Amino acid sequence: MTITFTATNNLTLPTAWHRLTPIWEGGEEIIQQSLPHTQLAPAWQLMLLGDGSPTRHLELLTGEPTEVDVIDMSLIGMDLDNAPDVIQAVPGPRLRRQVWLRTASGQRLAYAASWWEASHVDEYLQNRSLPIWASLARLRTELYRDVRGIYYGDSSALESGFDVTGPFWGRHYLFWHYGQPLTLIYEVFSPYLIKYLGAMQLNSKNQ
């Protein structure tokens, strides 16, 4: 496995992460109710609103191992980093990690930014080139994935990274461990997944 790793350890605010500019967004109430299938098809809702591991889902969809290219590990201190408001639930000072999730053959499927308490990140990401799910599974860590927000929006950086035009669907969630917030994760999925999940929206005739 070839891993790209760039560490940024300076204490000044590092390169920004890739947050979507929303066309539409929803919070916890919408997430609990689900979305109309004309807005987001059932298979895509399973990926975005379910509490299972996206890394594992991607492996099952593609039939390939999901690998990680780490593009950023930055100490951000107590800065809120333009992250979703629930970043304040993660104790500081914090470390931000950014990755591409891709197939072993090189197709990028998702982008993720995550925020961790800097002093504890090594406990949970002992091998930082592994997907978070794989790292925590090796430790037999008990987790609850708490989806808090969903987005449909644009990002020129992600268009370039995925090599496909947007808009994109994304979400953010907290990982809870023994009743305490462990990390905040913001994920965006590539429209390439239409190959496996089908169309992002169903028209009314398909319902």
**Tokens 């916890």, residue?**
28
| Distance separating alpha carbons of residues 18 and 60, to the nearest angstrom | 26
Residue with more model confidence, 56 or 189: 189
pLDDT in tens, 26-76: 998 888 888 999 999 999 999 999 877 888 899 999 999 988 898 888 899
Instruction: Report pTM.
Output: 0.84
Instruction: Output the average pLDDT for the chain.
Output: 83
| Among the ranges given (8-17, 57-66, 119-128), the one the predictor scored with the smallest mean pLDDT | 8-17
Domain of 183, CATH number, reads 3.40.1410.10
Kindly report whether the peptide bond that precedes residue 54 is cis, defined as omega within 30 degrees of 0.
no
Contacts of 143 (CB under 8 A, 6+ apart): 136, 175, 176, 177, 182
pLDDT computed for residue 119 by the predictor: 80
In a domain, 118, yes or no: yes
Domain count, the chain: 1
pLDDT in tens, 130-144: 545 455 555 455 567
Q: What domain range includes position 91?
A: 7-206
Residue with more model confidence, 88 or 182: 88
Estimate the crossing angle of helix 42-49 against helix 54-62, to 10 degrees. 140
In a domain, 148, yes or no: yes
In a domain, 2, yes or no: no
